[in-house]
Chains A and B, each alone.
Chain A
Amino acid sequence: MRTARRLRRSRLDPGVTMRRFLAGLLAGACAFAFTANASAQVEIDITRGRTDPLPIAVPSYVASGDTAELSTQITEVIEADLERSGLFAPIDERAFVEQISSINVRPRFADWRVIGARVLVTGEVEPLGDGRVQLNTRLWDVAGNQQLGSVAYKTPRENWRRAAHKVADFIYSNLTGEEGYFDTRIVFVSESGNKLDRTKRLMIMDQDGANPQALTDGLNYDVLTPRFSPSNQQITYLALFDNQPAQVYLFNIETGEQEALGTYRGMTFAPRFSPDGQSVLFSVEQNGNSDVAIMDLRTRRLRTLTDNPAIDTSPTMSPDGRQIAFASDRGGSQQIYVMDADGTNQRRITFGEGTYGTPVWSPRGDLIAFTRQYKSRFYIGVVRTDGTGERLLTESYLDEGPTWSPNGRVLMFHREERPGGPVGLYSVDLTGQNLRPVPTPGEASDPAWSPPLN
């Protein structure tokens, strides 16, 4: 198998790149580009299975004034983001020949070539008078002796991690041609206690595990299967009560407000937002039978989409809003089905042995991720939306509940490696490579990736 990473001249139109810079500029509250002059000259093709990560040098950001400690921390976050993606291999700073003391001087490219760097990142952290700092970053093509791009962000000091993630996103995006996913967050279920007396709380953290924060106390109900709204201010989740049927809830991250989505005699469960954030799809259980329904969040009107004596659950809508995938055991074992958004044209797309559950439509629209169970093992896999091209990416005693990174390149899920062992979060590339544990405070399950933050 040939290496999938390749360096090549960018085919990107500089105008497109400029527009992307400007779009980022407009979206970011504290971001602006101080130069937006370069298109990518070094590019990683991440659509193929790759073998070698790109050697990259990220010398410590140049400090000025009182930013020495901050510069070190920012550099570490940027480097860690790049390393964890599996696409980059940061070079140990002890190998560096040139010491960067200003980012406005051309680096000595030969000094970076000699240590094997393909790309060099230089940066500085400048204190601003108003308590904020400015991060200036330049990206260099070491072999081509030229600057690939540059970016600057102003940020309140306490938001330095987000600014660092934005820089990592800039580097990732410049070198892969894909949107970055480092400035994102994860909601998940924090699990504590033994199996007979388990508490499951809703938590949120940065995608790299920093800043974990509990959103529910776990006293009156457990939280399961949280999902992010594409509009980013809301989460929908399942509240599991001891003395009443489980119910789908909405949670506003900013205000902390929670509300049940309607009141039903039976259980509502398996919620997921529509891609436009205007509706929530979920299952409604009546007299033991579960069907898929969609609720318009403005009118609160519920429309049932399936009417089948089998278990129909785990609905997920395609990014264009035209189709819905769901899991059903109407054929005997649970498999994945796809239907039109109005509930018509229901057809089965998976036919493999074992069972398939928790379908999740890729943000790119071309794939559906799922949990497959076969004999006594669980797998995370992907399949094209017509049911062809199934690939299993992971396997363990229990792998369950994939969620897509917003750029559709990485999947996160939860794993119980061995029977009775601790449950935790993991991420894996769409290629099946770069399997990594995701750090959480204690045991964790049911991750859900946020859209890119603004």
Chain B
Amino acid sequence: MIKRTLGKAGLILALGAMAACASTPEEANTASDYETVAPTTTARTEPVGPEPGTLEDFQQSAGDRVFFGYNQYNLTNEAQGTLSRQAAWLKEFPEVRLRLVGNADERGTREYNLALGARRANAAKSYLVGLGIDPSRITTISYGKERPIDPRSTPDAWAKNRNATTMLVSVGS
């Protein structure tokens, strides 16, 4: 068990290193590094890959975040691609329920950003539902600007913090 966990961690590190090598410095701070980390679906069938149906598997197969423009909640092509992969994965694991968390950058008031985060989470949810995911599997939450993933006050950090993050809340046995 310990060995398997180590093996998994080793693979994630390796993939991360590959992604870092493949990325230009500019790309490293954008959404694209989340995409480049994701292996093809065949990776999931490899014995050394993340256990199918786990969060690690989800993160690598589909990507767990989509990003938005400033004060925007429309889904970019890239975001739609990520959500399509999420939908495909979710169809494979119908017992998994998810929480979609909407986040905003620090360039706005608390109250407006809470509302904006709710819009973003729901935009992502609607897209998944449109691809056939049962809405009863999905709850949405907004954290507004209160839970940044990048603590810096830079345009790069703000771009990362404007996101909808998919969290798996229960994974079937």
Q: Which residues of A contact B (CB under 8 A)?
A: 194-196, 198, 200, 222, 224-225, 238, 240-241, 243-246, 266-267, 269-270, 283, 285, 287-290, 311, 313-314, 327, 329, 334, 355, 357-358, 371, 373, 376, 397-398, 400-401, 419-420, 446
Contact = CB atoms under 8 A, between A and B. Distances in A.
Given A194-B151, A195-B148, A267-B142, A355 B108 contact: yes
B141 interface: yes
4 residue pairs, one from A and one from B, having the closest CB atoms: A288-B122, A419-B153, A195-B151, A357-B109
Nearest to A310: B115
B114 A270 contact: yes
A269 B112 contact: no
B27 interface: no
A245 B110 contact: no
B146 A222 contact: yes
A283 B119 CA distance: 14
B99 A243 contact: yes
A45 B122 CA distance: 53
B99 A225 contact: no
Interface of B: 71, 73, 99, 106-112, 114-116, 118-123, 125-126, 139-144, 146, 148-149, 151-154, 169
Nearest to A189: B110
Contacts of A398: 106
Q: Summarize B's interface: helix, strand, loop or mixed.
A: mixed
A288 B106 contact: no
Given A198-B146, A270-B114, A400 B109 contact: yes
B11 to A, nearest CB: 25
Nearest to A195: B151
16 contacts: A222-B146, A224-B110, A225-B110, A241-B141, A245-B140, A246-B114, A246-B141, A267-B118, A270-B111, A270-B114, A285-B118, A288-B121, A288-B122, A290-B118, A313-B115, A420-B153
Nearest to B141: A245
Nearest to B122: A288
Given A288-B123, A311-B116, A311-B119, A357 B146 contact: no
